[in-house]
Amino acid sequence: MAAAGRLSVHVRESPAAAPRTLVGPRRAPAGRLSSAAASEPAAPGAGPAARRELPPRLRQAEATKRKHQTSSEAPPAKRRNEASFLPARKAAAKETQRTFKGKAQKTFSPKKSLVGVTNGNREQKLCIRTSSLFKNNPEIPELHRPVVKQVQEKVFTSDAFHELDLHPHLISTINTVLNMTSMTSVQKQSIPALLEGRDALVRSQTGSGKTLAYCIPVVQSLQAMKPKIQRSEGPYALVLVPTRELALQSFDTVQKLLKPFTWIVPGVLMGGEKRKSEKARLRKGINILISTPGRLVDHIKSTKNIHFCRIRWLILDEADRILDLGFEKDITVILNALNAECQKRQNVLLSATLTEGVTWLAGISLLNPVRISVLDEHHGQSDLKGRTVPEASPLPACGELDSFAIPESLDQHVTLVPSKLRLVTLAAFILQKCKFEKDQKMLVFFSSCELVEFHYHLFLQTLPSCSGTLASGRPPSASTQLKFLRLHGNMAQEERTAVFQEFSHCETGILLCTDVAARGLDLPQVTWIVQYNAPSSPAEYIHRIGRTARIGCHGSSLLILAPSEAEYVNSLASHKINISEIKMEDILSVLTRDDCFKRSRWGSQKSRASGPQEIRERATVLQTVFEDYVHSNERRVSWAKKALQAFIRAYATYPRELKHIFHVRSLHLGHVAKSFGLRDAPQKLSVTTVKRRKANLNRPDLHKKSHSTHHRLAEILRSEYSSGMEAGIAKVEKQNKHAEPGSQPRIAVCSQCPALAVGKTKKHFP
Ligand SMILES: Nc1ncnc2c1ncn2[C@@H]1O[C@H](COP(=O)(O)OP(=O)(O)OP(=O)(O)O)[C@@H](O)[C@H]1O
């Protein structure tokens, strides 16, 4: 049952097949989702009395829909007036209509595309029905992309590590074990400042070497302590990171640096492991402790052998995420525990994105901090000579909060795709890059665990079977075989770690993931980042795309937006993020390179379509592959519906400042359903939070609107960044792991951390 104030989406089945328009007090356009459901919508298939209660315009829409009942098409949806922010691309739109405008539903037989159909009976399965993908779509607006000058940083310096005053063994480890000689800009600025004993707030672009920027000073200072550190003395340095994978990665780096200093013991606490064995390791002693906040809180509360009296360093990597929603209670507990035991330590906050949260914490927590920000001197904000910004300006200037540095060698793209075509466009893009191009490694970001699971199984079961004959007649080579992996917060830890390792080491592959992979992960040779669901903030956009183009390498990104979301490009531009457009048609055109998407009409006759018509037909064949898979049994249909619900749930959690772009009311349920391989929109989908909120209008105590939004967002984040100790989750994870592809996934609802009996501390640090 959903907790009060939390979004829940209810789907009630009804025998009628036609998609429903939901009716609420604030009426949505026909076919669009209305989140306000105070007046109960007339049920599909409900009697005439119920229908009579609909306003005349909607009654008409209902009638039109009944006419369309055999197709999954909702009646033509009236577009919202998008001209206010982007004038319609009239000429181009006409062209699109001319070339892509579909006829009504057609009958055809997709060649070699029927999932679960063996070669023998494949040809017999004719007359598969797929409604038109290219009909009644909203116009794709012309993207008047403002060209902005991106903030850029210089990654490398010509200065070598041996120029620093470090232990010779540490320098030789950096040179020989890590294979590094010159410092990056952020390392050149941070290492000396931290070795002076200063607190610091460090910002530099993704993939610029921030991990070593704090690890080297920590190791240098701890190895120099006299008398030598004893393992049994416990933690001298505490490193907090938001995810388990990042904890593992940072642990790996620290371990390498400690090779010559065997008396210093590093350790990682990250959930997923048995609490008992972590307790045992803590008892033996860990000197550099790397942990996720949730897991550390669990130990603070339950492990006697954890103490912080010798802590000299506190590092918050990805500080803005750690201080963000969902972690604030954990951080409060940790800081209170630290402050109770140790009085003097060095505090370091690092991130590629400096947000208000970090600034606030820096303001109250860092003592006489140095701010290190690597920015291009051409922008007049730089300090590339290696100087650090003096105490007089420890915090960033206001304007700096709004723009982020982006790796110079990162090409960013956006494509506008109507909802119905999203799934085929994503699949075509994956095929284009990972089947027809060599050595591509791709990350695809989704908004929730359920979406990752759904698309993972769907693509795993369908796309490799589409890798039949290329248009050239050649069979695909082994190197063009598609390898799908997935990573999200609801997976069992062993599987998460295995996937992380596998994707790190493989040369090609497609990792479908949630934001659990957005922060800090250093996955080698990633060439493409695809954002299938837009991120909830520009900072998250930066971190997601930052998984490619690291440390001076080249990389590309693609953001997939619905036409109604086009304004998001302007929103990114206001943060100095520059994106160029790729046309959806150009992505779909790759399907003409693969003969398994060739359509044959009525069994044998090949389609003679060419150009845009051929692309349209092949996209329809691919959509049919997906729909066949989803509709091949009831469990898969219900699974797709759950994924659709999860999508809408996540869509409802965009922050207020983005609601004018991403609002559930602008979603067309029938069209969105197609992007989940559903032929019909689920019946009576209602988002009951709004209803509940309405009902609470007379309850001033429940008026904390922003709190409930925060709470929902925190719940979602928490499911991604959980400590791994939540009761019951392990069981669900295990069941999911062994679930049959396409079977009903059990969705673990990660509970909030139990209420913590610690009040908010005003001053956390000495
Ligand atoms: N001086 C250096 N020379 C060569 N490679 C380096 C150097 N410093 C770091 N690297 C490599 O650069 C990559 C990125 O480093 P790191 O993960 O620390 O970046 P980051 O700034 O923390 O990124 P993010 O903001 O995404 O967390 C790693 O593979 C690391 O080994």
The 3-state secondary structure of 54-102, one letter per residue = CCHHHHHHHHHHHHCCCCCCCCCCCCCCCCCCCCCCHHHHHHHHHHHCC
**Ligand 1 mean position, distance from CA 487 (Å):** 22
Q: How far is the CA of 755 from the centre of ligand 1 (A)?
A: 37
Instruction: Please give the Cα distance from 307 to 583 (Å, whole number).
Output: 57
Q: Compute, in angstroms, the gap from residue 156 CA to the centroid of ligand 1.
A: 11
Residue of the CA atom closest to atom 11 of ligand 1: 209
Indicate whether residue 128 lines ligand 1 (CB < 6 A). Answer: no
If one residue of 190, 208, 374, 404 were mutated to test the ligand 1 pocket, choosing by the most ligand atoms within 8 A of its CB, it would be 208
CB-based contacts of 716, cutoff 8 Å, min separation 6: 448, 650, 653
| Torsion angle of the four alpha carbons 107, 111, 114, 117, in this order, in degrees rounded to the nearest 10 | 120
pLDDT at 672 over 60: yes
Distance CA 201, CA 195 (A): 14
The CA distance from 9 to 381, in Å, is 47
**Distance, CA of 462 to CA of 460 (rounded, Å):** 6
Transcribe 301-316 into DSSP letters.
HH-TT---TT--EEEE
Q: Are 686 and 22 in contact (CB under 8 A)?
A: yes
What is the pLDDT confidence band of residue 7, given thresholds at 50, 70 and 90?
A: very low
Least confident window among 253-262, 267-276, 621-630? 267-276
Query: Six-digit token pair at 283?
Result: 């008892």
C-alpha torsion sign, points 173, 177, 179, 185: negative
Pocket test for ligand 1, best of 204, 550, 553 (most atoms within 8 A of CB): 550
Q: Give the sheet arrangement for strand 555-561, strand by strand.
A: 484-487, 509-513, 441-445, 528-531, 555-561, 410-416, 580-581
Summarised one tens digit per residue, pLDDT across range 105-156 is: 333 344 433 333 333 344 444 444 556 889 889 999 988 777 888 888 999 9
Kindly report the backbone phi and psi dihedral angles of residue 650, in degrees, each rounded to the nearest multiple of 5, phi listed first: -65, -35
Residue 414, helix vs strand vs coil:
strand
Q: Which residues pair with 556 in a beta bridge?
A: 411, 528
Q: What sign results for the dihedral spanned by CA atoms 520, 523, 529, 533?
A: negative
pLDDT digits (tens, 9 = 90+) for 704-730: 434 444 444 444 444 444 433 333 333
Distance 209 CA to ligand 1 centre (A): 3
**33 touches 665 (CB < 8 A):** yes
Q: What is the DSSP letter of 173?
A: H
Q: How far is the CA of 207 from the centre of ligand 1 (A)?
A: 5
Report the separation in Å between the CA atom of 750 and the middle of ligand 1, taken as the mean of its atom positions.
32
Strand partners, 559: 414, 531
Closest C-alpha to ligand 1, atom 29: 522
Phi, psi angle pair for 758, to nearest 5° = -115, 130
Q: How far away, in angstroms, is 160 Cα from ligand 1 center?
A: 15
Give nearest CA residue, ligand 1 atom 1: 183
pLDDT single digits (tens) 277-308 = 899 999 999 999 999 999 999 999 998 889 99
Q: Which atom of ligand 1 is nearest to the CA of 351?
A: 25
- How big is the chain, counted in residues? 766
Beta strand 484-487 with 509-513 is parallel
Q: Which residue in this structure is represented by tokens 């004993």?
A: 197
CB atoms within 10 A of CB 169: 12
How far is Cα 339 from Cα 435, in angstroms, rounded to an integer? 54
- 324 pLDDT band (50/70/90 cuts)? confident
Mean pLDDT of 520-537: 97
Question: Is 709 near ligand 1, meaning CB less than 6 Å away?
Answer: no
Lowest mean pLDDT across 88-92, 173-177, 654-658: 88-92
Higher pLDDT, 137 or 15: 137
Kindly give the distance from the C-alpha atom of residue 191 to the centroid of ligand 1, in angstroms, as a whole number.
14
The finding on whether 82 has its CB within 6 A of some atom of ligand 1 is no
- Catalogue the long-range contacts made by 362-367 (C-beta closer than 8 Å, 24 or more residues apart): 362/201, 362/394, 362/395, 363/395, 364/762, 364/763, 364/764, 364/765, 365/763, 365/764, 365/765, 366/199, 366/200, 366/201, 366/394, 366/765, 367/199, 367/765, 367/766
SS in 3 state form for 560-621? EECHHHCHHHHHHHCCCCCCEECCHHHHHHHHHHEHHHCEEECCCEECCCCHHHHHHHHHHH
Q: Counting atoms of ligand 1 from 1, which one is nearest the CA of 520?
A: 27
Mutate to test the pocket of ligand 1, among 519, 551, 557 (most ligand atoms within 8 A of CB): 551
pTM above 0.95, yes or no: no
Cβ–ligand 1 distance for 207 under 6 Å, the answer yes
The Cβ of residue 479 has, within 10 Å, a number of other Cβ atoms equal to: 11
Q: Give the highest mean pLDDT range of 110-124, 333-347, 608-622.
A: 333-347
Of 455-469, 471-485, 743-757, least confident by mean pLDDT is 743-757
Nearest residue CA, atom 22 of ligand 1? 210
Q: Which stretch of DSSP H or E encloses residue 120?
A: helix 119-122
Query: How many whole angstroms from 373 Cα to the centroid of ligand 1?
Result: 16
- Average pLDDT in the chain: 74
Q: Which mutation among 173, 211, 321, 504 tests ligand 1's pocket best, with the greatest number of atoms within 8 A of CB?
A: 211
For residue 77, what are its two tokens?
A: 């949806």
Does 210 sit in the ligand 1 pocket, CB within 6 Å?
yes
Strand partners, 347: 314
C-alpha span between 543 and 578 (Å, rounded): 15
Instruction: Look at residue 378 and give its three-state secondary structure.
Output: helix
Quote the distance between the C-alpha of residue 50 and its chain's center. Answer: 41
Which amino acid does the sequence have at 233?
A: E
Give the CA distances from residue 276 to residues 67, 272, 299, in Å, rounded to whole numbers and listed in that order.
Answer: 63, 11, 10
Q: Please tell me the predicted confidence (pLDDT) of residue 554.
A: 97
For residues 211 and 213, give the distance between their C-alpha atoms in angstroms, rounded to a whole number.
5
- Output DSSP code: residue 541: H
Residue minimizing CA distance to atom 16 of ligand 1? 209
Residue 160 CB less than 6 A away from ligand 1: no
Please check whether residue 515 is in contact with residue 719, taking contact to mean a CB–CB distance below 8 angstroms. Answer: no
- Locate the ligand 1 atom nearest the alpha carbon of residue 184 and give its number: 1
Supply the angle between the helices 611-630 and 449-466 in degrees, to the nearest 10: 120
Best CA proximity match to 739, nearest among 635, 607, 593: 635
Instruction: Please tell me if the CB atom of residue 351 comes closer than 6 angstroms to any atom of ligand 1.
Output: no
Pairing of strands 685-687, 9-11: antiparallel
ipTM of this predicted complex? 1.00
**Any atom of ligand 1 within 6 Å of the Cβ of 209:** yes
Residue 355 pLDDT level (bands cut at 50, 70, 90): low
SS (H, E, C) 458-527: HHHHHHHHHCCCECCCCCCCHHHCCCEEEECCCCCHHHHHHHHHHHHHCCCEEEEECHHHCCCCCCCCCC
Whether the pLDDT of residue 85 is over 70: the answer is no
Q: Is 215 in the pocket of ligand 1 (CB under 6 A)?
A: no
Q: Is 522 in the pocket of ligand 1 (CB under 6 A)?
A: yes
Identify which of 283, 224, 549, 233 has the alpha carbon closest to the alpha carbon of residue 407: 549
Q: Ligand 1 centroid vs 351 CA: distance in angstroms?
A: 13
Pairing of strands 182-184, 156-160: antiparallel
More confident residue, 222 or 389: 222
Instruction: Quote the pLDDT of residue 246.
Output: 97
Backbone dihedral angles phi then psi of residue 412, each to the nearest 5 degrees = -105, 135
Residue with more model confidence, 260 or 77: 260
Residue 477 pLDDT exceeds 60: no
Ligand 1 atom nearest to CA at 546: 26
> Phi and psi for 175 in degrees, rounded to 5?
-70, -45
**Cβ of 520 less than 6 Å from ligand 1:** yes
**Ligand 1 and 546: CB distance under 6 A:** yes
Count of C-beta atoms within a 10 Å radius of residue 574: 12
Beta carbon of 243 within 6 Å of any ligand 1 atom: no
Strands 200-203 and 346-351: parallel
Encoded tokens for 23: 């009716």
State the alpha helices, DSSP H only, in 127-179: 168-176
Ligand 1 pocket: which of 187, 522, 548, 553 to mutate (most atoms within 8 A of CB): 522
Q: Backbone dihedral region of 490: left (phi > 0), alpha (psi from -120 to 50 degrees) or beta?
A: alpha
Q: Is 72 in the pocket of ligand 1 (CB under 6 A)?
A: no
Tell me if 551 CB under 6 Å of ligand 1: yes
Interval 537-562 mean pLDDT: 96
Report strand pairing: 528-531 vs 580-581.
Answer: unpaired
Please indicate whether residue 212, judged by its CB atom, sits closer than 6 Å to ligand 1.
Answer: yes
Residue 257 CA to ligand 1 centre (angstroms): 14
- Residue 587 CA to ligand 1 centre (angstroms): 32
Question: DSSP assignment of 671-715, as one string?
Answer: HHHHTTT-SSPPTTEEEHHHHHHHHGGG-GGG--HHHHHHHHHHH
CA-nearest residue, atom 30 of ligand 1: 209
Residue 747 in this model has a pLDDT that exceeds 90: no
Q: Which residue in the block uniquely carries the two structure tokens 């709470």?
A: 711
Atom 8 of ligand 1: nearest residue by CA position: 209
Residue 318 structure tokens: 């990805």
Distance (Å) from CA 210 to ligand 1 centroid:
6
Residue 417's pLDDT is 98
Give the integer Cα–Cα distance in Å for 566 and 446.
Answer: 18
Place of tokens 């971190």: 543
| The pLDDT of residue 34 | 44
Strands annotated E in 121-224: 128-130, 156-160, 182-184, 200-203
Is it the case that residue 55 has pLDDT exceeding 80?
A: no
CB atoms within 10 A of CB 192: 15
Query: Which letter does DSSP use for residue 208 in this model?
Result: S
Q: How far is the CA of 225 from the centre of ligand 1 (A)?
A: 27
User: Both tokens of residue 279?
Assistant: 């307790």
Q: Which residue has the higher pLDDT, 375 or 588?
A: 588
User: Is the per-residue pLDDT at 35 higher than 50?
Assistant: no
Task: Indicate whether residue 206 lines ligand 1 (CB < 6 A).
Answer: yes
Establish whether residue 553 lines the binding site of ligand 1, counting it when its CB lies within 6 angstroms of any ligand atom.
no
